[in-house]
Amino acid sequence: MSKDLKFLQSAFALAQIWSKDPSSKVAAVAVGDTPNLVAWGYNGFPPGIADTENRLFNREVKYSLVLHAEENALANATFPVRTLYVTHPPCQGCALRILGYRSVLRVVCAKPSPEFQDRWQASIKQTLALFEEAGVEYEEIDLWNSLPWTQQSPVP
């Protein structure tokens, strides 16, 4: 299994374990110059803000308080981040924050589902344009066709 798949799979595991968001489990893994320089983040409220049911299940309130996984991973990194692995394509706001961090050279995420792609198409298009203009490499991995246990074996 490649390093990219390992970090992306780690992001998905972190999202399931740590994100309290009832509808969108998102996480990011920030990696430095070597694979042992790692920080991570998930979508959630800032430190000191309680994860109450009223806040988590009220979409308007939740969106006004939540920090995105990319923001948290970059905030947790105490080193220059070179590659950011994210469970979902970054929104335009996160793309700007990634560029503002100034050291990220590459963003890798799972290829989104057609439903996600349709819903967030405008934001993803803006993100890709920003990354291209700034020279940040962007890669989507078709996760479900890349992991050995998701591939169908021929049945005799």
Active site residues: 70
Alpha-carbon span 83 to 60, nearest angstrom: 31
Q: Which residue's structure tokens are 């220059």? A: 80
DSSP 16-33: HHH---SS---EEEEE-S
Residue 66 neighbours by CB under 8 Å, 6+ apart: 21, 43, 44, 45
Q: Which residue's structure tokens are 């994860």? A: 51
Residue 97 and residue 70 in contact, taking contact as beta carbons nearer than 8 Å: yes
